Amino acid sequence: MLGTGISVFGPMLLGVPAQSGAATGAVMLAALLFALQIAAAYIVLRQMGRLDGLVPFMVADNWVNFIVSLFGTVILVLVGGSEVMLFTVGLISIIVEVNIARRILTLSPMQVATFIVVQIVAQLIGVLILGGVMLQSMPAVPAA
């Protein structure tokens, strides 16, 4: 959550404009998505009989999220947000998640694929449901 706080509130502290309440909403969404990710990891690892890998996965994943959030904030402030940067960070995140599953959890290739797909599906469902609910509660942007 420290990485999320840095990535959400850091640009605002450095002068990047944001809509009122957007940062708090992003933190709440990130917390709920993190809970979904851990729940999905728990379910998949339990089905694979590898529940002993849940804590090492959480530790490694949290460090990766912190580092990616820190670098993402620096890049946002220095370069600015763009689709290319978002795609690059997403691709790097998937590569790191695959290596966490391979190296730390020591899963077989098919288990790695299952683990990653379940994680991505859980995140997408969470963004669609929770993001939609949170967008409905945000005030409308006034016309220019």
Domain ranges within the chain, ordered by starting residue: 2-9+21-136
- Predicted local confidence at residue 43, as pLDDT: 95
- Predicted local confidence at residue 16, as pLDDT: 63
Quick one: tokens of 55? 């804590």
**DSSP states of 29-81 as a string?**
HHHHHHHHHHHHHHHHHHHTT-GGGHHHHHHHHHHHHHHHHHHHHHHHHHT--
- Predicted local confidence at residue 18, as pLDDT: 63
- Predicted local confidence at residue 76, as pLDDT: 73
Return the number of other C-beta atoms located less than 10 Å from residue 119's C-beta: 20
Quick one: tokens of 95? 């590569």
Judge contact between 116 and 101, C-beta under 8 A: yes
**pTM (2 d.p.):** 0.74
Of 53-57, 108-112, 128-132, the range with the lowest mean pLDDT is 128-132
Nearest to 134 by CA among 142, 143, 126: 126
| Percent share of the chain, pLDDT over 70 | 75
Q: What is the DSSP letter of 87?
A: H
pLDDT digits (tens, 9 = 90+) for 101-127: 999 999 999 999 999 999 989 988 888
